[in-house]
Structure 1
Amino acid sequence: MGQQQLLLLIVTMIIIGIATITAINTLESSQVQANHESIKQKMIEAANYAQSYHRKSDMFGGGNGSFVSITLEELNLTADHTLGQFSISDESAESFTLTAIPAAGDEIDIVATIYKDDIQITDVPKE
């Protein structure tokens, strides 16, 4: 009877170990997904600021119908944010690109192309 109880104890410990590892992995992937969703929400807010900047006259600190001189400050962002690193590129009169390197997870970058009346957000796999 002692061997059977010992075997049951070992099997129970193995099952508990597997369940614990599964729970930790689930929490980690959940944290990464939450970080990516927060970045996308931040990009939507930034698009709102950008579109307002595009419409404003340069006399009032706007772009006067252009995104050429837009900065992260106008988008209410910093380059090193708690969610990740943000940068602006490809500024033109009609659009610009906002790129985020997430703080959590290292498989993708999140790229938003912001237009005067639209935003397109895509996940770009890292090479």
Structure 2
Amino acid sequence: MGQQQLLLLVLSTVIVGLATVAGIQAFSENQAQASQDALVQRGTSIASDIQGLAGKPTQMGGIDPTDISDASTIIDRLGYDANPVSAEGAGTNGECEIKNNSDSSVGTIDIVCTSDDSPQKVTVGVSPSADEPVTTQFGSP
């Protein structure tokens, strides 16, 4: 083999190696973003279910929108088996925990979603009687 052919072989091997590393890195970043998006979707879905309960009369299984501070009642009314709730598609150990919001007034519930594959935790606040009934915040895991 000539020297020029060996040089082209080495150069093409280096280019293929760099492309492979870049592809693996892009895949990892996209996987983390997909986990984050799945947590946001699950938290928002639970918040929507809570708003639906707040819109129903209490005689028909709804909850009082001005007093939704009891997370165990909400979990029971939504029909979830346990708290935290599984967050499918959010990666390893993806789950959303429904909690009373101790920093806020009565009538607010927080849904805190985490996953081992997500770079941040997602907190979705639900307050059906507020001007902005659903808020989303991101924080460190």
Normalising by the smaller structure, the TM-score range is 0.7 to 0.9
Match of 1:102 in 2: 115
Conserved? CA contact 1:50–1:75, under 8 Å: no
Question: Structure 1-normalised TM-score?
Answer: 0.81
2:54–2:64 Cα contact (<8 Å) kept = yes
Greater RCO structure (CA 8 Å; 6+ sep): 2
Answer whether contact 2:39 2:87 (CA < 8 A) is retained: no
Superimposed CA distance per residue, residues 49-71 of structure 1 (whole angstroms, 9 cap, x where no aligned partner): 11121232332222123322211
Q: Structure 2: where are the runs of 5+ without partners?
A: none
1:63 and 2:84 aligned: no
Aligned length: 125
Equivalent residues of 2:43, 2:112 under 8 A apart: no
Deviation digits for residues 93-127 of structure 1 (CA, Å, limit 9, x no counterpart): 4111001112533x31111111105211111113x
Which residue matches 1:121? 136
Structure with the higher strand share, 1 or 2: 1
Which shifted more, 83-92 or 108-117?
A: 83-92
Seen in structure 2, the aligned counterparts of structure 1 residues 72 and 61 have a Cα distance that, compared at 3 Å, is: closer
- Aligned-partner residue type, residue 71 of structure 1: I
CA positional deviation for 1:87: 0.4
- Alignment correspondent of 2:85: 79
- Inter-partner Cα distance in structure 2 for 1:48 and 1:38: 15
The percent of aligned pairs where both chains have the same amino acid is 22
User: Is the 8 Å Cα contact of residues 42 and 96 (structure 2) preserved in structure 1?
Assistant: no
**Residues 102, 110 of structure 1: 8 Å contact kept:** no
Structure 1: 5+ residue stretches without partners: none
Could you say what the CA RMSD is over the residues aligned between the two structures, in angstroms?
2.4
2:110–2:123 contact (8 Å) kept in structure 1: yes
| Secondary structure of 2:13's aligned partner | helix
Contact kept, 8 Å, 1:99 with 1:110, in 2: the verdict is yes
How much has 1:46 moved relative to structure 2?
1.7
Q: TM-score, normalised by structure 2?
A: 0.74
